[in-house]
Amino acid sequence: MIRSQTMLISQNMEDNIMKCFKILVFLLVIWASIITPLSAGWNSCIGCHNGTLAPDKDKLKEKHKTIDSFISAAQSTQNDLMKSIQKDVKSLQEAAKEIGLQ
Ligand code: HEC
């Protein structure tokens, strides 16, 4: 009787540890998705620049032949979604290079 109760308690603890672990993993995923845009590159743009919400890689390359034109277009767009990225010239530059502009 006592033995089975102890087993029950340790089973409960295991469940709790698993819960904590799952929460930790979940937080880690959120954290990673928040810091990713900071570490830039075209990957951080794909979420929106998928051809539906915003022009995709090919459309942007068609429209802009140089990095300068690409960056000034990014900075002059009135769309709120680009607000946080407009100041980040370094990311814009990296992304432009990554999609093959010069
Ligand atoms: C949160 C969504 C979002 C993210 C992330 C995002 N963009 Fe945009 N971007 C937009 C939207 C919306 C527009 C406006 C599209 C339009 O006017 O049709 C835009 C416009 C642009 C334009 C101007 C396009 C044109 O018509 O000439 C450029 C260049 C651009 N983005 C580059 C980038 C780059 C580079 C990144 C990544 C560093 C990025 N964007 C990340 C949503 C986003």
Q: Is 99 in the pocket of ligand 1 (CB under 6 A)?
A: no
Domain co-membership, 100 together with 68: yes
Looking up tokens 């709120």 gives 80
Domain co-membership, 28 together with 45: no
Mean pLDDT in consecutive groups of 10 residues from the start of the chain, 102 residues? 72 87 92 67 92 96 96 96 92 94 92
Distance CA 15, CA 10 (A): 9
The total number of structural domains in the chain stands at 2
Domain co-membership, 53 together with 99: yes
For residue 40, the model assigns a pLDDT of 66
The overall pTM is greater than 0.85: no
Q: Is 67 in the pocket of ligand 1 (CB under 6 A)?
A: no
Domain co-membership, 45 together with 27: no
Domain co-membership, 2 together with 20: yes
92 C-alpha to ligand 1 centroid (Å) = 10
Q: Which residues contact 49 (CB under 8 A, 6 or more apart)?
A: 55, 56, 57, 60
For residue 52, the model assigns a pLDDT of 95
Q: Which residues contact 96 (CB under 8 A, 6 or more apart)?
A: 64, 67, 70, 71
Domain co-membership, 33 together with 53: no
Q: Is 36 in the pocket of ligand 1 (CB under 6 A)?
A: no
Domain co-membership, 20 together with 55: no
For residue 39, the model assigns a pLDDT of 52
